[in-house]
Amino acid sequence: MLTPPDINLEELDACGLWKAAVKTTTELLKIFPFPEFFNSTAANLAKLLGADGVALIVYDGPDRLKYKLFYGLDRIKQESIVKFSFPASKGTVGHVLTSGQYLFTQDYQHSEDSMPEFVDAGLRSNLVLPLPGPNGFIGAIAIAWIHRQSGPLEAANLAIAEMFAALVGVSVYREELERQLEDNSLTDPLTRLPNRRMLMMRLASAQRRACRNQSLMVLALLDLDGFKIVNDQLGHAAGDQKLLAVASALRGAVRDIDMIGRLGGDEFVVILEDLMSLHEVKTILDRIVRAVDRDANQNQDCYKVTASLGATIYPIDFSEPELLLKHADDAMYVAKRIGGNQFYIASREDAAKE
């Protein structure tokens, strides 16, 4: 654990404690990644309050909560509660998120808000504070006394704990924004499928796995026949709905280990892994083409789209990712030239023409 700046808590008055806490937490937040910031600042907070540890609780979906980070709670079996998810209205945390106010429970084991899992773990007292976000509360921190019950809380110490909760709330929100930005940089905004950047990362990994497992990996690129007519005659909103229908059809046609992505426009990519024969490859490619024909045209049969699919097989086509994509693209144009609504697999001779 990173060591926070030393503070002699015994020598500071209430005002000094507040200033020291502000300085310490803000400086840590500038310097450290969030988990290190949480641990380092929680160490000071636990020391200040005479507590045994601090836990961070965040939302796990709209109506449930989960424990995300712990500091100092060695006596609680963390493995059992790391995966513990509970209703957002339950326990002292649920009480706090409902009321919007902190809750100090000096005798946790006899509290009406206690939860059996934590009574059994030996929790004696806790202080729960909500984490503020821009649109409401985004979670809570729980400060825990395991070895003994807490004494009364001083107003200055409680104010510092509330400041800590505010800083943690900012950090959690920032971390979530950064995660969303990263997801957006790897995801197509319309279909929520992986975009080109993510596909190329996955493709390189899939090549390594194919070599390691001595299996076949297929890179397939498909372009939609008839999509321009949908866009031109029905408009882009209808085109977007057709793309969403194609994405859904592709998801239903491949296995869990495979990956679907969107390059842009009406071009999609499929990475198929762990295949052992050409027959297996052809079976899946045929299933993909048929799925688009069947499942993407249920509501507008007069504006039908189908798939022209080109594929190349690694390591038969022992090329780098960008060249594999080009070979699949070339094969896709062959499928389109010979009538569409079918697949074409690039041959060794096709790859040798480079």
Judge whether 149 and 107 are in contact, CB under 8 Å. Answer: yes
Examine the residue annotation and report whether 188 is marked as an active-site residue of this protein.
no
Catalytic-labelled residue, pool 258, 266, 317, 330? 266
Which one-letter amino acid corresponds to residue 38?
Answer: F
Dihedral sign computed on CA atoms, order 142, 148, 152, 153: negative
Q: b/e per residue, 96-108, with b = 16+ CB within 10 A?
A: bbeeeebbbbbeb
Q: Give Cα 236 to chain centroid, integer Å.
A: 30
Q: Where are the alpha helices (DSSP H) in the chain?
A: 14-31, 34-49, 78-82, 91-99, 116-120, 155-186, 196-213, 227-234, 236-253, 278-295, 321-337, 348-352
Rounded to a whole number of angstroms, the distance between the first and last alpha carbons of the chain is 54
Which one-letter amino acid corresponds to residue 245?
Answer: A
d(CA 260, CA 193): 7
Closest CA to 222 of 284, 306, 280, 149: 306
Closest CA to 54 of 28, 77, 74: 74
d(CA 199, CA 308): 19
Residues labelled as active-site residues: 266
